[in-house]
Amino acid sequence: MPDFAFGGEVAWRPTSAYRDRSRLAAFIARHRLADLDDLQRRSVEDPRWFWRAVLDDLGIEFYEPYGEVLDVSRGIAWPRWCVGGRLNIVHNCLDKWIGTPVAQKAAVRWEGEEGSTRVLTYGELHREVNRCANAFGELGIGRGDRVALFMPMCPELVVAFFASIKIGAVILPLFSGYGADALASRVRDAEAALLVAADGVRRRGQVVPMKAVADEAAAAAPSIRRMVVVPRLGIDVPLAHGRDERWPDLVGRQSDEHETVRTGADDPLMVIYTSGTTGRPKGAVHTHCGFPVKAAQDLAHCLDVHDTDTMFWVTDMGWMMGPWELFGMTLLAGTMVIYDGALDYPGPDRLWSLVARHGVSVLGVSPTLVRALMRHGDAPVRAHDLSSLRILGSTGEPWNPESWRWLFETVGGRRVPIINYSGGTEVSGGLVSGNVLTPIKPCSFAGPPPGIAADVVDEQGHPVRNQVGELVVRAPWIGMTRGFWRDPERYEHTYWSRFPGVWVHGDWAAIDEDGLWYILGRSDDTIKIAGKRLGPAEVESVLVEHPAVIEAAAIGVPDATKGQALVCFCVLRPGQTPRPGLAEDLTSLVGTRLGKPLRPDAIEFVRELPKTRNQKVMRRVIRSAYLHEDPGDLSSLENPQTVQEIQAVRR
């Protein structure tokens, strides 16, 4: 990789308003540590002390206490947590708040694309979860069964999520945009017994059927015994006799009392599938004392979430940030906003109107979503009162400086910190993050959250600074996946096979001279030109500096001379056209900034880049389409028509 040069000057410094009420500062003071560096050092040197302190700080209650907080007798890849403890996380998310003032607080604020709204207090959510738990029990679903959730972000999804856990089942959250094949492969892999599906969803005013997809998937998944249909749109859908039940009929007749099943602290809680290209899906296994604890710790220590906060994270339940938000916010007794629809419909100000209408104080977005909304200019933002915002969060993709500054200046008014946050499905949260105690440069992270022994290494596994390397972790943490579902060898090969006893995450990262961290994209997206490694984010950041370009994606394609050649795809700003000479200008710009050997061989102009509904740019799809190869699973794409456009540019 080229030498690292990124970030620039500090854009935000902690003010007393942030420092004085910071949960992270309070944690440091409570344990009489000198500062954040002292906490970070002790947290990785003494993980048993640290994670016990986190459990205490979060007020996690156990039915039966654990003996050891951490047991690594099976090796670093297979730690056991809260050994011997009895814990169902739903007790801490919901049950323990009943009879307290929290029961009267809003737990969930929901809005649908068509304008429908609903608010559930903690008390109301608890009662609905109990009804749903009784309903699932009536269907014969119980402890250890897998329950697949195929719904948009609606209140019934939240209810089914917690009800499944309450009865000791294992949840299987699935992307609401999946096609039948993708849905079936995951349901089949997990051997789910129950599928909870919506009748349909609205997307930019159009009805997108979901029940038909669920029916086709269930036909290909023999393990599915029952299906519960949520009438999100109220459209007429067929019901299979003896298999299907309507949510209002089944859940509506149940008691609102149900005792929570007492599970083991490290019993399976959730199987969530990671994105992949081909082959059998990878189901990351998470437990009651794992994923939820890491999620809540990161919300508290990184994003400084308090019980007075209202958070809206742009996500789907099939992306880990969906369960992360549900677990984290209920463990902290905060309020979450969920939205079911497109964020630029009926107008480009929909996201900003949501923030103002619901009093959102913590907003989580992806850089790709920000780049898409930037096209509409500042006016949609200025039309709404965003004074409720206290924290801006970001995850999903690397930033480029221009879009980061737009979010910081136009949306946050230069007063609100952008907390960069990057980790993964298998991680339960962040391996690197910002916080409210550390100065922020554009696109930067403060570093690993407390408890994460992360590092950046070269190809031999040696630590590097001021240059790009692999992101690794040298010690276990409580949110680490307990392996892939029924595939331990694949898990060990994926994360633990490169360097002995070291988790290799698959991201390019760098640490600058001030100790700030940067994530520069997936290492499997790396482009290698004549022996020189190049991260896509480096090229894309240069391209979007040009006034004509709003978005870009860089890929490597086979080249007989150089091994790989660089090909770039650019989306132009409104009003811009691919005029003669523009491609040459962009080629020269990249060559000037990164070096002549790294000049693109081709610049292609497209209307859109292929993205998931969570706004991740799918570079492997771009590469496959451009080379006219099988693009693999396209089920998570929001805009599959982009594949044909990319194929057409190279006949």
Give yes or no: residues 517 and 535 share one domain. no
CA angle (537, 542, 548) in 5-degree steps: 120
Give yes or no: residues 446 and 361 share one domain. yes
**3-state SS, residue 487:** coil
State pLDDT tens for residues 61-116: 999 999 999 999 999 999 999 999 999 999 999 999 999 999 999 999 999 999 99
- Is residue 259 included in any domain, yes or no? no
Give yes or no: residues 488 and 381 share one domain. yes
pLDDT of residue 533: 65
- Is residue 4 included in any domain, yes or no? no
**Comparing 375 with 538, which gets the higher pLDDT?**
375
State pLDDT tens for residues 199-226: 999 999 999 999 999 999 999 999 999 9
pLDDT of residue 279: 53
pLDDT of residue 448: 98
State pLDDT tens for residues 160-195: 999 999 999 999 999 898 888 889 989 999 999 999
DSSP letter (8 states) at residue 275: P
pLDDT of residue 585: 95
Give yes or no: residues 168 and 292 share one domain. no
pLDDT of residue 531: 63
Buried-state track 511-528, b at ≥16 Cβ within 10 A, e below 16: bbeeebbbbbbbbebbbe
**Average of pLDDT values for 20-26?**
97
Q: Would you say residue 454 has pLDDT above 80?
A: yes
Give yes or no: residues 20 and 160 share one domain. no
The continuous run of DSSP H or E covering 134 comes out as helix 122-138
State the amino acid at position 251 in one-letter form: V
**Which of 471, 491, 521 finishes a domain?**
521
Distance between CA atoms of 428 and 265, rounded to whole angstroms? 16
Print the domain residue range for 379.
16-93+267-521
Give yes or no: residues 430 and 472 share one domain. yes
- Is residue 132 included in any domain, yes or no? yes
State pLDDT tens for residues 388-430: 999 999 998 788 889 999 999 999 999 999 999 999 899 999 9
pLDDT of residue 651: 61
CATH of the domain at 152: 3.40.50.980
- Is residue 210 included in any domain, yes or no? yes
Give yes or no: residues 534 and 462 share one domain. no
- Ranges of beta strands (E only) in 126-254 are 146-150, 170-173, 194-198, 200-203, 206-209, 226-230, 244-246
Give yes or no: residues 502 and 607 share one domain. no
Encoding tokens for residue 532?
A: 């020189």
Encoding tokens for residue 513?
A: 């001279």
Cα dist. 325→28, 107, 322, 481, 521 in Å? 24, 11, 5, 18, 23
State pLDDT tens for residues 315-358: 999 889 999 999 999 999 999 999 999 999 999 999 999 999 99
**Which of 252, 276, 305 finishes a domain?**
252
Domain count, the chain: 3
Q: Would you say residue 151 has pLDDT above 60?
A: yes
**Which of 487, 505, 521 finishes a domain?**
521
CATH of the domain at 609: 3.30.300.30
State pLDDT tens for residues 458-503: 999 999 999 889 999 999 999 999 999 999 999 999 999 999 999 9
Locate all alpha helices (DSSP H) within 332-470, ordered by sequence: 350-358, 367-374, 379-382, 401-406
CATH of the domain at 282: 3.40.50.12780
Residue 5 banded pLDDT, cuts 50, 70, 90: low
Give yes or no: residues 244 and 185 share one domain. yes
Distance between CA atoms of 231 and 208, rounded to whole angstroms? 13
- Is residue 99 included in any domain, yes or no? no
State pLDDT tens for residues 242-287: 999 999 999 999 999 999 999 999 999 999 998 644 456 789 999 9
For the chain, percent of residues with pLDDT exceeding 90: 80
- Is residue 551 included in any domain, yes or no? yes
Q: Work out the mean pLDDT of the chain and round it to a whole number.
A: 93
Q: Would you say residue 602 has pLDDT above 60?
A: yes
Contact call for residues 463 and 516 (beta carbons, < 8 A): no
Distance between CA atoms of 83 and 66, rounded to whole angstroms? 5
Give yes or no: residues 305 and 446 share one domain. yes
- Is residue 628 included in any domain, yes or no? yes
Give yes or no: residues 469 and 567 share one domain. no
- Is residue 129 included in any domain, yes or no? yes
pLDDT of residue 464: 94
**3-state SS, residue 104:** helix
pLDDT of residue 2: 40
Give yes or no: residues 472 and 419 share one domain. yes
pTM, two decimals, is 0.87
